[in-house]
Every structure is written in structure tokens, then in C-alpha cells.
Structure 1
Amino acid sequence: MLFETHTPATPPTADPLAATPTWMTVMDRAGRTCECTGACGSRHGRSGLRCDTRHGQYLKGHRGPVRLAVGQPDLTDREAAALPPADLRAWCPACWRGTDRRRRAARAALAAHRDTADTADTLF
């Protein structure tokens, strides 16, 4: 056939190959929906102040279904892996990137402030 319909290789709600009990617990608690409530910088105004992106959902601008991750953007992977499921949250890629970007900007601003304070102390 010249024009075949494209079907995804995996069903849109497929769990990752490494779906651990922790991942499953967090996803079940979150209803397979991103748990961001604005840490990414968005007010999520359309969905009652919580991101409404669901695991397996197709969104405009994405090549395939959205896959939610479990973690805490302000922690390293190693630190997050040591936490119990109750302390972890489900994140869509856009909210994770937004939260990480804001965290990095805050760290950079703090470092710049420290550098400025150090320079001011040495001037006098």
C-alpha cells in the first residue's frame, strides 16, 4: 500500500520496560496524570491548577505518546531512588523540564549573588 495508516508500536498506555513497584504505586496514586501544580512555571489554569497531561496521551508537537516519569526534579536520581513512593511525584516531560529550568535559574542567581557579595567584601 502506498498510504498505510500508522499505528504506534506500543499501546498508548504501555508501562515502561523497567516499571518498578515504586513507579506503579506513584502512577496509580496520581491516576496516571502529571502531578505538577505549578512548580514548572505554568498555572495550569485550564485544569484546576494541576497539569492534566496523562501517561500515554498524544499531544500536539510530540512524536509519540507522552511518558510520565516518577521522581523529584530537585533531587538527584540517586536521592530520589532512596525515597518511598509517598515522597515521589509523577511528572510529564514539559513540567519536569520547566521545574528543572526554574531550579537551575534559582541556583545561578544565588551563585551570582554570592559572587557579588564576595567581590563587594574585597573592595573595602
Structure 2
Amino acid sequence: MDTLDDLVESTRGPRAGILEGIRFHNGVANSRELRQYGDIPSGVYHFKTLVEQEIIEETGQEHGGRGGPATVYELTDLGEKVADELLGESGGMSTIAELEKQLDEQAERIEDLVDAYNDMADLVEEIDARTEDL
């Protein structure tokens, strides 16, 4: 059996992209999503290799879009360790959930700024009205 260091070393390039993509999609992603995320070549070679190394596992099929069903993958416990070594504990990039949270926070901040702007505009109009006759 390969050591963790061996698995990390063999999981570079497109295979690392698969692991990062699974993490990005909150731990479960289909092959179509992963190819779009990481620009993974068509075919199953990289996926099969990761399954054989017990880094990812097939958990089902999803239908949708063009073509046949897309295989759903998730990280195994060993895959989590390999991903941690490759990508760091944070997973390399933000997950969809983290990005959605940031987007919601930014939308709230924009609403607050719009309200503040409107309040200021009202004050300017009021000042203009008071000073018009001076």
C-alpha cells in the first residue's frame, strides 16, 4: 500500500483538481461538475485511478444536462487526508456555501450603504430647500 506521501505525490494536476472540486461542491460532486470546475479531461482515467487508490468513492449517478448520467463522487477518509496535505485544511478555495455566505453579507452591506446614501440625499435636499431663499 502507498504511504500518504506517495499518494499526495501521485495526486497532482488533474487529480488534485478533482479533490479540490469535490471540496468546493461541499464534499459531493458529479463528474460533469468536476470537469467544469477543474478543466479535467474527458474520460475516466483520473477518476478510476483515485477510486483504485481509495481516495474517492463513487456514491451514485445523476441525470441531467446532455449526455448520459454523471457519476457522483465523494472523498474517502483517506481522500480527506490527501486533500488536507495537498490543499491545506481550508481546502484550497472557498466552498459554495462559504461563497454564498459572503455574497449574502455583501448584499446586506450594499443595502445598508444604499439606505445611508438615501438618508444623505434627503438631508442635502432639506439643506437646499432651507438655503434657497438666503
Name the TM tier (shorter chain): 0.3 to 0.5
TM-score by length of 1: 0.34
TM-score by length of 2: 0.32
Greater share of residues in helix? 2
